[in-house]
Chain A
Amino acid sequence: MFRATIRSLLNRKLRLILSTLAVVLGVMFVSGAFVLTDTIGRSFDALFTTAYSTVDVQIIRTPRSEAGVQDASVAEPVPASLIDDLEPVTGIRKITGTIILDGARVISPNTGKIISGGMGVPNFGGNWTGEDDLVKLRQGRGPSEDTEVVINASLAKAGTFSVGSQIEILLPATGTDDPTGETTQSRRRTFTVCGIFGYAGGRDSVTGETYVAFTTPAAQRLMLGTTDAFSEIDILVADGSSPTAVRDAIRDRIGPDYRVNTGKDAAKEQSDFLKDQLKFFNYILLGFATIALFVGIFIILNTFSIIVAQRMRELALMRAIGASRRQVLVAVLLEAGILGLIASGIGLLCGIGVGAGLAAAAVTFIEGMELAGLGVPLTAVIASFGVGIPVTLIAALIPAVKASRIAPIAALQESTIPDKPLTRLTIGGIVVTLAGNVALALGLTDHAGGHELLAAFAGILTTFVGIALLTPIIARPAVSALGRLLAWSTPGELGRRNTARNPRRTAITAAALMVGVALVTAISTLFSSATVSTRTMLDETLHADLLVYGIQTGQNPPTFHPNLLVTTRQQADVEAVAGYWYDVARSDDGQTMVSATDDLAAFIAISGSKTTQGRGTRLAPGEIVIDSRMAKEHHLTLGSTVRYGLTRADDRDFTVIGIYQRNEIIWGPVLSIEDAQDFRARDPQLAFINLRDGANVEAMKAMIDGMLVDSPDISVVDRSGYLEQQTSMLNMLLGFIQVLLALAMVIAVLGVINTLILSIFERTRELGLLRAVGLSRAQTTRMITVEAVVISLFGALLGIVVGAGLGAAVVQALRDEGYTTIAFPYGLMAIYLALAALVGVIAAVFPAARASRLNVLTAIAHE
């Protein structure tokens, strides 16, 4: 039996290879994800090991948030006096008080924009602590005056700075009074470059970051807003002392307010933190994998069904000469298992390539980062085979069971398997679809006991399976109708009839295409509904004529100087201005989005809301207003207290003094600007400006624009510009998600090709006959193209209908989140349909070439 299995596998090489390509792709994404994270992870390890190579023990303030990692933009100062406390600790060679904080942004003299090493790459500002094993001066000297800075070579190159250049730096708000005492609208200060440094091994930066180093007093004042403090204390141990021993001694001495770590652990901590962020990529790749494998199941199921049908007499003969049902079942599953094994192996190899390629590409984005050697983690191997083989087996199970049910008598009969009625299949389809819908509904309505996302996802996949089961019964009429549009010639008509001939086969092939199209249609529906809803909502509620803000690309949101609010408010044409700060705070719910404004009444008015209870005017420190829904859900009334932990402060209580009507612009707790000084960003991030009737909007816009010269990452837009921007982000996201469609389509094309090749093989004699009685090669191609296009269009139509339904259901469920309008993306739907037709044409190329090159005589003689 085993030998027979192998023989039969070899006989069907091409067809089987095609059918398993989906598994290969799926497994490729799985192993690619693992290899990528492993390689990048090890690269990060190496990177931070370098960065911390000159630190044996590090002391920082214990971070408030549970996340645990030191946050380079909000680090709490460590008092300089702590250094004296370390006096008695033995084994210390050198103690350095270091300031290193994110937020010193340099304005490029060439472009006027902020120089950045990439998205989320920090702009460090700190104190110059001299050269060491890692840091090397390349030109000039360290700063001796507070107006002098040394910069890293990376920054010098990006901004074409040299020793003696003037350099414009946007400093972070430190929460203290302006150190220079100037009345200003900007955090921009001018310094002189007195030196340029690099790193051991000729690096310009460690990870592409920009770095400006001031004198220690200047760094303390400008970056920390204090004197006599540092952001960390770095210790080198004496020869013969162990970092761990010194660490433990320091821990004992200074207590839990500080976190003391060896350089090694600190490096690992930073590295692990970044690796964690990287999981995002993993999720994307694993999402691709899921879709590929899910669609792959349809294709493999189809392949095995067709193969079993074609081998019916052979299998029946085996049964007749004494093979048991079990043996037949095992033979087919064995075939699937071997196939899954091979496909997984190939997928694993491809994945290693993809993972390594992506890692190499990622590394080129991060200057100075070196790619760790290629490694294949054991998890990648296990996951590849652990996913690929079961998926193939599951897909082959139904055909295998069918094969085992073939009666021995079938060996003696001429006929093919008669078409069984579709009743059972259809009932099954209805049940499965309903089950999927229920799971989806539970997920969407928050009734899945904390597993909402999982329930919704499982619900969607189950719905797809259910619809796939229902597809055969719709296939005949639908394909008939579709085919009529294309069957204007005899070859077209023949193609149409071939499609209608085996509804199950057509249905499964189309279903594979349906999945991708449905997913993207659903997402497009969601997005277009969001766009329309947002526009409608903003149009109705937002009363601002101008808005000032920037688009956040890194860890810190773009901000502007609060004086801008004051100056704007003084203009004659301005009716009201509301500055807006926001952050995420620790709360009983885990995390809560909090905001603050300097003019609550204006904010409530401009955002089209109104105060329903209590006060809606100026907030004093410790006071908040909340929205009505929050009040209801958390049983809060006027005078209740809520506990929040702001980014730069310990948890404290806030008193509710007013309740307002929630909408999409204003919601959640709103705090005073005094409390906003404990936010991550101490400067405002947004300003809503309402002009008097008849004011010159353009003139005001130009005026504010003038005030923003020192804030390259902030701009002023009018109402329509704002509406435009709010929705353009969604369009970008949609573009990205359409990559999913491309992937699902590629796999579906494979499915269509596969089905066509198998069908053509099955119909060899028919093709021979047609060619004999005068069907030309071109006509043969046309016949097969029509067949492919009909299948593809059917799948796409199904996908569009299912996707639109799914999208509408999700939009409906999100009604409370502001999705007030269901808007179907008709233009995109038409494009998807056109793409599907194209897919059909492409899928037909190879099978048609094969069919039209058939030798007429051998085809007729074909068994």
Chain B
Amino acid sequence: MTATTTANGVAARAVDVWKVYGSGEAQVIALRGVNIELERGRFTAIMGPSGSGKSTLMHCLAGLDSVTRGTVEIGGTVLTGLSDKALTTLRRDKVGFVFQQFNLLPTLNAKENILLPLSIAGVKPDPTWFERVIESIGLSDRLGHRPSQLSGGQQQRVACARALASRPEVVFADEPTGNLDSRSGAEVLGFLRTSVREFGQTIVMVTHDPNAAAYADRVVFLADGQIVDELREPTAGSVLDKLKSLDTPEVCADVLGEGTASGGVA
């Protein structure tokens, strides 16, 4: 599994990543030697119990946080040791973000929010690309609206469009549907899947909802800072079963052993 490389190549990669917070008594090891490769043009979901390190892994992969040990690579660039300035530029040009909440600037309207990373970079948007993105989020008539005039689901779709606007190497989404009702959530997830299928976008999504995970091509399971398992072409049912099996302590220990033996799952 370690060498899972498709014809498309790898968009981002983590090699033996450790993340330790604090020191001494208060020390927390959030990631313990994680190895993962994110294939280009695929939709990967990261699942795991609360506190298992999902967000931490995502932040490290996205260049928002530094790793304690190991290396992270996005689109061929090694992040370790980059200056704040270089990291900022990398995030601007190669990474897109969708957070659980508060994704939009209240002073900008939907269109301006979508184009924000481009205008920060001083780059003119590609009109045909922009059209396609707008069309697929289905908000062509709402572009002039401020975030406060949009519903939560609409805001989240605008945030997705923003993440896609600069055609980044990877889009990271941390529980993007966590604050939405199931219908709005389904719209957002549908859009993310479309962007993978139709635009060839690479997307990594953290979620704890098996239904959400079912939209992905691949689900990676995290427990206690380590990758413990993964599923390809998941369905809500298969994800749920896997979670249940992971919840039973002995299986967990079993899986852990396996994970360690194979040097992590990729």
Given contacts A772-B91, A774-B89, A857-B65, contact A494 B99 (CB under 8 A): no
Stretch at the interface among B32-40, B43-51, B74-82, B115-123: B115-123
Q: Which of A48-87 contact B (CB under 8 A)?
A: none
Stretch at the interface among B101-109, B126-134, B190-198, B226-234: B101-109
Contacts of A857 in B (CB 8 A): 59, 64-65
Q: How far is the CA of A765 from the CA of B104 in the complex (A)?
A: 10
Contacts of B162 in A (CB 8 A): 773
Q: Are B107 and A501 in contact (CB under 8 A)?
A: yes
CB of B93 within 8 A of chain A?
yes
Q: How far is the CA of A773 from the CA of B99 in the complex (A)?
A: 11
CB of A497 within 8 A of chain B?
yes
Q: Are A770 and B105 in contact (CB under 8 A)?
A: yes
Contacts of A856 in B (CB 8 A): 64
Tell me the minimal C-beta distance from A301 to chain B in angstroms. 24
CB of A251 within 8 A of chain B?
no
Residues 82-112 of B, flagged 1 when their CB comes within 8 A of A and 0 if not, give 0011001101110001010011011110000
Chain B residue at minimal CB-CB distance from A862: B102
Tell me the minimal C-beta distance from B110 to chain A in angstroms. 15
Contacts of A498 in B (CB 8 A): 107
Contacts of A769 in B (CB 8 A): 99, 102-103, 105
Tell me the minimal C-beta distance from A697 to chain B in angstroms. 67
Q: Are B88 and A777 in contact (CB under 8 A)?
A: yes
Q: How far is the CA of A562 from the CA of B97 in the complex (A)?
A: 92
Contacts of A777 in B (CB 8 A): 84-85, 88
Contacts of B116 in A (CB 8 A): 490, 770, 773
Q: Are A776 and B107 in contact (CB under 8 A)?
A: no
CB of A504 within 8 A of chain B?
no
Q: Are B64 and A776 in contact (CB under 8 A)?
A: no
Contacts of A774 in B (CB 8 A): 88-89, 91-93, 117, 120-121
Q: Which of A489-523 contact B (CB under 8 A)?
A: 489-491, 493-494, 497-498, 500-501
Given contacts A774-B88, A774-B117, contact A490 B102 (CB under 8 A): no
CB of A746 within 8 A of chain B?
no
Chain A residue at minimal CB-CB distance from B148: A415
Q: Which of A249-286 contact B (CB under 8 A)?
A: none
**B: contact size bracket:** 20 to 34
Q: Are B97 and A776 in contact (CB under 8 A)?
A: no
Contacts of B107 in A (CB 8 A): 494, 497-498, 500-501
Q: How far is the CA of A354 from the CA of B46 in the complex (A)?
A: 65
Q: Are B119 and A490 in contact (CB under 8 A)?
A: yes
Q: Which of A494, A765, A773 has the most CB of B within 10 A?
A: A773
Q: How far is the CA of A42 from the CA of B116 in the complex (A)?
A: 68
Q: Are A771 and B88 in contact (CB under 8 A)?
A: yes
Tell me the minimal C-beta distance from A858 to chain B in angstroms. 10
Q: Are A860 and B99 in contact (CB under 8 A)?
A: yes
Contacts of B92 in A (CB 8 A): 773-775
Contacts of B84 in A (CB 8 A): 777
Residues 740-782 of A, flagged 1 when their CB comes within 8 A of B and 0 if not, give 0000000000000000000000000110011111111101000
Chain B residue at minimal CB-CB distance from A853: B84
Q: Are B102 and A765 in contact (CB under 8 A)?
A: yes
Contacts of B121 in A (CB 8 A): 774
Q: Are A776 and B88 in contact (CB under 8 A)?
A: yes
Chain B residue at minimal CB-CB distance from A773: B117
Q: Which of B99, B108, B122 has the most CB of A within 10 A?
A: B99
Q: Are A489 and B122 in contact (CB under 8 A)?
A: yes
Chain A residue at minimal CB-CB distance from B115: A490
Q: How far is the CA of A500 from the CA of B107 in the complex (A)?
A: 9
Tell me the minimal C-beta distance from B178 to chain A in angstroms. 14
Contacts of B59 in A (CB 8 A): 857
Tell me the minimal C-beta distance from A734 to chain B in angstroms. 42
Residues 825-863 of A, flagged 1 when their CB comes within 8 A of B and 0 if not, give 000000000000000000000000000000011001000
Contacts of B93 in A (CB 8 A): 774
Contacts of B120 in A (CB 8 A): 490-491, 770, 773-775, 779
Given contacts A857-B59, A857-B65, contact A775 B88 (CB under 8 A): yes
Contacts of A490 in B (CB 8 A): 116, 119-120, 122
Contacts of A779 in B (CB 8 A): 120
Contacts of A494 in B (CB 8 A): 105, 107-108
Tell me the minimal C-beta distance from A370 to chain B in angstroms. 60
Identify whether the interface residues of B are mostly helix, strand, loop, or mixed: helix
Contacts of B99 in A (CB 8 A): 769, 772, 860
Q: How far is the CA of A773 from the CA of B166 in the complex (A)?
A: 10
Contacts of A776 in B (CB 8 A): 85, 88-89
Residues 473-498 of A, flagged 1 when their CB comes within 8 A of B and 0 if not, give 00000000000000001110110011
Tell me the minimal C-beta distance from A740 to chain B in angstroms. 37
Tell me the minimal C-beta distance from A853 to chain B in angstroms. 9
Q: Are A766 and B122 in contact (CB under 8 A)?
A: no
Tell me the minimal C-beta distance from A410 to chain B in angstroms. 17
Select B102's contact among A501, A771, A773, A860, beta carbons within 8 Å.
A860
Contacts of A771 in B (CB 8 A): 88
Tell me the minimal C-beta distance from B115 to chain A in angstroms. 9
Tell me the minimal C-beta distance from A497 to chain B in angstroms. 4
Tell me the minimal C-beta distance from B209 to chain A in angstroms. 21
Tell me the minimal C-beta distance from A831 to chain B in angstroms. 33
Q: Are B64 and A772 in contact (CB under 8 A)?
A: yes
Q: Are A497 and B108 in contact (CB under 8 A)?
A: yes
Q: How far is the CA of A824 from the CA of B84 in the complex (A)?
A: 50
Q: How far is the CA of A342 from the CA of B103 in the complex (A)?
A: 41
Q: How far is the CA of A779 from the CA of B102 in the complex (A)?
A: 21
Tell me the minimal C-beta distance from A381 to chain B in angstroms. 48
Residues 231-247 of A, flagged 1 when their CB comes within 8 A of B and 0 if not, give 00000000000000000
Q: How far is the CA of A776 from the CA of B89 in the complex (A)?
A: 7
Q: How far is the CA of A663 from the CA of B85 in the complex (A)?
A: 71
Tell me the minimal C-beta distance from A623 to chain B in angstroms. 79
Chain B residue at minimal CB-CB distance from A499: B107
Q: Are A772 and B122 in contact (CB under 8 A)?
A: no
Q: Are A773 and B97 in contact (CB under 8 A)?
A: yes
Tell me the minimal C-beta distance from A250 to chain B in angstroms. 86
Q: Are B122 and A773 in contact (CB under 8 A)?
A: no
Q: How far is the CA of A765 from the CA of B88 in the complex (A)?
A: 17
Tell me the minimal C-beta distance from B105 to chain A in angstroms. 6
Chain A residue at minimal CB-CB distance from B163: A773
Contacts of A766 in B (CB 8 A): 102, 105-106
Tell me the minimal C-beta distance from A309 to chain B in angstroms. 15
Contacts of A773 in B (CB 8 A): 91-92, 97, 116-117, 120, 162
Contacts of B89 in A (CB 8 A): 774, 776
Q: Which of B59, B89, B92 has the most CB of A within 10 A?
A: B92
Tell me the minimal C-beta distance from B190 to chain A in angstroms. 23
Chain A residue at minimal CB-CB distance from B85: A776
Tell me the minimal C-beta distance from A35 to chain B in angstroms. 49
Tell me the minimal C-beta distance from A480 to chain B in angstroms. 12
Chain A residue at minimal CB-CB distance from B96: A773
Q: How far is the CA of A779 from the CA of B64 in the complex (A)?
A: 18
Chain A residue at minimal CB-CB distance from B88: A776
Q: Which of B89, B108, B121, B122 has the most CB of A within 10 A?
A: B121
Q: How far is the CA of A39 from the CA of B89 in the complex (A)?
A: 62
Contacts of B64 in A (CB 8 A): 772, 856-857
Chain B residue at minimal CB-CB distance from A768: B102
Q: Which of A490, A493, A770 has the most CB of B within 10 A?
A: A490
Q: How far is the CA of A860 from the CA of B97 in the complex (A)?
A: 12
Q: How far is the CA of A856 from the CA of B122 in the complex (A)?
A: 22
Q: How far is the CA of A772 from the CA of B91 in the complex (A)?
A: 7
Q: A773-B117, A774-B88 are in contact. List 7 more A-B contacts (CB 8 A).
A: A497-B108, A771-B88, A772-B64, A773-B91, A773-B120, A775-B92, A857-B59
Q: Can you show 20 pairs from A to B with CB atoms below 8 A apart?
A: A490-B116, A490-B119, A490-B122, A500-B107, A501-B106, A765-B102, A772-B64, A772-B99, A773-B117, A773-B120, A774-B88, A774-B120, A775-B88, A775-B120, A776-B88, A776-B89, A777-B84, A779-B120, A857-B64, A860-B99
Question: Which 9 A-B pairs have CB atoms at the shortest separation, nearest pair first?
Answer: A774-B92, A497-B107, A490-B119, A776-B88, A773-B117, A774-B91, A765-B102, A774-B117, A490-B120
